[in-house]
Amino acid sequence: PPPELWASFRGRRMGGRELPLPPGYRGVLLKRGEPGEPPLCEPGDPQAGWVMVTGSFAAITDWGADSAPLPGRGLARALQWGPLAQALPAPVTEDSDEEAEP
């Protein structure tokens, strides 16, 4: 399991673990632009706006109060769903090693 991290937030002890994002995923930091700023918007458009990527990250820290989250639970478990969700719609070919279930 990844090593435990320790910190304090408003006087409360927090334990954490850094979790890598699944292959093919990355986290991004976004900055919201205001209507009327570039890129050009139609004047008076209430939905006008845009976002700009200002940074990215490949790992996220899962924090718990008073103890580090257990490996394989919570956020660590949720991060397993991305690759699974991509695999589900993948076509199955006749060359596949898997047998179809009745």
- Is residue 40 included in any domain, yes or no? no
- Asked whether the predicted pLDDT for residue 29 surpasses 90, the reply is yes
Residue 94 lies in a domain: no
pLDDT score for 92: 75
DSSP for 53-85, written as a single string:
EEEEESEEEEEEESSPPPTTSTHHHHTTHHHHH
Could you give the number of structural domains in the chain? 1
Average pLDDT over residues 1-15: 88
In this predicted model, which residue has the larger pLDDT, 22 or 91?
22
With a cut of 70, say whether residue 37 has pLDDT above it. no
Q: Between 31 and 56, whose confidence is greater?
A: 56
CA dist., res. 25 & res. 20, Å (int): 10
Which residues on neighbouring strands pair with residue 20, listed in sequence order? 59
Residue 27 lies in a domain: yes
Q: Which two tokens stand for residue 45?
A: 């458009």
Instruction: Indicate whether 30 pLDDT > 70.
Output: yes
Whether residue 42 lies inside any domain: the answer is no
CATH code (residue 69): 2.40.128.680
- Give domain status of residue 90, yes or no: no
